[in-house]
Amino acid sequence: MDKKVFIFDLDGVIVDTAKYHYLAWKNLANELSFDFSKNQNEQLKGVSRVRSLEILLDIGKINLSEDQKQKLLTKKNKEYLEYVNRMTADEILPGINELLNFLDQKNIKYALGSASKNAPLILKKVGLFNRFTAIVDGNDVSKAKPDPEVFLIAAKKLKKDPVDCIVIEDALAGIQAANNAKMISVGIGDENILKDADFILNNTNELTIDFAEKLIEK
Side-chain half-sphere exposure of 33, counting CA atoms within 13 A = 2
Beta bridge partners of 15: 11, 92
Stretch of residues binding ligand BG6 (CB under 6 A), selected from 63-71, 88-96, 112-120, 149-157:
112-120
Q: Contact residues for Mg ion (CB under 5 A)?
A: 9, 11-12, 170-171
Q: What binding mask, one character per residue, do residues 62-101 give for ligand BG6 by CB under 6 A, x or -?
A: ---------------x------------------------
Rule CB under 6 A: say whether 11 interacts with ligand BG6: yes
C-alpha distance from residue 146 to each of 38, 111, 172, 206 (Å): 21, 18, 8, 24
Task: Please name the residues in contact with 167: beta carbons below 8 A apart, sequence gap of 6 or more.
Answer: 6, 7, 8, 9, 113, 151, 174, 175, 177, 178, 181, 183, 184, 185, 186
Determine whether 67 is an active site residue: no
Binding of residue 125 to ligand BG6 (CB under 6 A): no
Q: Is 9 annotated as catalytic?
A: yes
Round to whole Å and give the CA distance between 188 and 183.
16
Q: Find the helix or strand (DSSP H, E) in which 8 lies.
A: strand 5-8
In the bound state with ligand BG6, the residue whose beta carbon lies nearer, of 44 and 72, is 44
Question: Smallest gap, in angstroms, from Cβ of residue 13 to Mg ion?
Answer: 6
User: Cα 157 from chain centroid?
Assistant: 18
Q: At its nearest, how many Å lie between ligand BG6 and the CB of residue 10?
A: 6
**Residue 15 sits in the site that holds ligand BG6 (CB under 6 A):** no
- Of residues 26 through 45, those in contact with ligand BG6 by CB under 6 A are 44-45
Among 57, 96, 108, 118, binds ligand BG6 (CB under 6 A): 118
CB–CB of 9/170 below 8 Å? yes
Nearest distance in Å: CB 210, ligand BG6: 27
CA–CA dist 106, 101 (Å, integer): 9
Closest distance to Mg ion from the beta carbon of 170 (Å): 4
Q: Which of residues 169-198 bind ligand BG6 (CB under 6 A)?
A: 171
Asked if the peptide bond before residue 120 counts as cis, ω within 30 degrees of 0, the response is no
Question: Whose Cβ is closer to Mg ion: residue 137's or residue 170's?
Answer: 170
State in Å, rounded, how far the first CA of the chain is from the last one: 9
Query: Of 5, 8, 20, 21, which one interacts with ligand BG6 (CB under 6 A)?
Result: 21
Residues noted as catalytic: 9, 11
